[in-house]
Amino acid sequence: MSTLNLDDFSDLIERPDGGVRRDAEERRARLVVPQGSLGRLDELGEWLAPAQAAVPVRPLTRPRLLLFAGDHGVASLGVSRRPAGGAEQLVRAVLDGESPAAVLAARLGVPVRIVDLALDCEPESLPAEVVSHRIRRGSGRIDIEDALTAEEAEAAFRAGMALADEEADSGTDLVVLGDISVGGTTAAAVLIAALCGTDASVVTGRGGEPIDDLAWMRKCAAVRDALRRARPVLGDQLELLAAVGGADLTAMTGFLLQSAVRHTPVLLDGVVSAACALVAQRVAFRAPDWWLAGHDSGEPGQAKAFDRMAVEPLVDHGVRVGEGAGALLALPLVQAAAALLGELPERPRPTHAEPEA
């Protein structure tokens, strides 16, 4: 019998300290640079202070790129430019430093951690540290069957929670969260459509490697069919993830919630992390206070999810490649905000002349 009760997160997750936020705002008003002149960086600095429970803000010195990897059975319908089961090659490109995310992470000095939840390959073909949290080999074809069993969904969710604890315990001060998947954007579109009450065509995009019109129509049909299976289980978020999410998306949702419990800030990437954030918000409404939307990927589902959560992406460069690349482009902005709000001096306090005798 399961002992996992998602309702507990509503009690466990607190908002960032409001008193620290007020202290940060008061300190900002005393800085030599006029208040408001730093634009969005002012907002970021005042978000970081309560997230860190520190005034002045501390520099971000230990960020990490964390990538959840998995294959999705729905990819066999031709909804992606990549072949079904092709996520292993994407993982290898990151490991070999040959993907955009790997290049950016190396340039920014950000360590990369890849976690295999459901890659469709032999575990022996990848480094042991990558496959240590694998739940199954590929998630089910969500248009006709559940992505996971109930037991697998709980195991994936707990794996995500464990990863959040590992990052918090290791001193990671900001997680850049991304995915490596084939078929993952289809599952994400289903989750977003189900939670926002929209039709398939409204949230279905063309993926990181844009597909043609025929493939897009196949993707819309797959999302539509999966939606019929998702709607009856909307009241139970773990059941929803088991039905139409997959091991990687389920683990990512658990990770986001437990990161909020542990007060670890998270920078979201594309439509997959946005979908998981939307599910996590349904579980605990205070959780999004611990996350930032990194960038606008151009995926309609991501825009819908961010709008529902009332978050605004930090950058919009049209980056669609996934794997955390877009969010990595936003990381220097967050680091700049921490540096400016933490290191700019305060205005000298006025001195009053001594009265004459």
pLDDT digits (tens, 9 = 90+) for 263-313: 999 999 999 999 999 999 999 999 999 999 999 999 999 999 999 999 999
Q: Which residues are catalytic?
A: 323
- C-alpha distances in Å from residue 211, one per residue of 185, 218, 219, 320: 12, 10, 10, 12
Query: Can you tell me which residue has the tokens 């694998």?
Result: 134
Question: How much is the pLDDT for 209?
Answer: 80
pLDDT in the model for residue 352: 63
Q: How far is CA 139 from CA 73, 301, 324, in A?
A: 6, 21, 21
CA distances from 71 to 76, 116, 186, 275 (A): 10, 9, 11, 17
Q: How far apart are CA 212 and CA 290, in angstroms?
A: 37
Higher pLDDT, residue 348 or 71: 71
pLDDT at 198 over 60: yes
Residue 174 confidence (pLDDT) above 90: yes
Class of domain 63-334 (CATH, top level): alpha beta
pLDDT at residue 276, rounded to an integer: 98
Cα separation, 116 vs 132, in Å, equals 7
Query: Kind and range of the H or E element at 283?
Result: helix 271-283
User: Residue 254: pLDDT above 70?
Assistant: yes
Please state, in angstroms and rounded to a whole number, the distance separating the CA atoms of residues 82 and 307: 29
pLDDT over threshold 70, residue 235 = yes
At 292 the pLDDT is: 97
The letter for the amino acid at 224 is: R
Q: Degrees (nearest 5) of the Cα angle 247, 248, 253?
A: 100
Longest pairwise C-alpha distance within the chain: 92
- Residue 355's pLDDT is 58
Tokens 């009053």, residue?
352
